[in-house]
Amino acid sequence: MIAADTSTWIALLGGAGGEDVELLDRALIEQQTLMVPVVLTELLSARNLSPDVARILSELPLVEVTAGYWQRAGVVRPRVLAKRRKARLGDALIAQSCIDREIPLITRDRDFHAFAEAAGLDLIVNAP
């Protein structure tokens, strides 16, 4: 199972190429994709998202939030910030969802490297 960050989903939905897009596409075909709730929220917030795409995204199985999730995310974020790295709240929540379930995260966003270093997030990164 894998999860993808918003950056990779946007690339896929926009028809962009790249290793991350190919990996996500393959995982979708093989039904090996879990949707991170925060990513779903970000994607559904797009003004130009078609209702059909919104429905398909909403039907993907969600990464379950487990007891203590909010507290763990609240602990990991300051660890990243202490290293003088970016740690946006949404990124911290996405990272914690994947860390909790030990799910690799596909992303184009290099800011997730800080969560890999500070908390052991398993990353598959493809910067365009």
Domains along the chain? 3-125 (3.40.50.1010)
pTM for the model stands at 0.92
Query: Order of strands across the sheet with 3-4?
Result: 3-4, 105-107, 123-125
- Percentage of the chain modeled with pLDDT above 90: 90
Is it the case that residue 126 has pLDDT exceeding 70? no
Contact (Cβ atoms closer than 8 angstroms) between residue 3 and residue 63:
yes
pLDDT tens digits for 62-119?
999 999 999 999 999 999 988 888 889 999 999 999 999 999 999 999 999 999 999 9
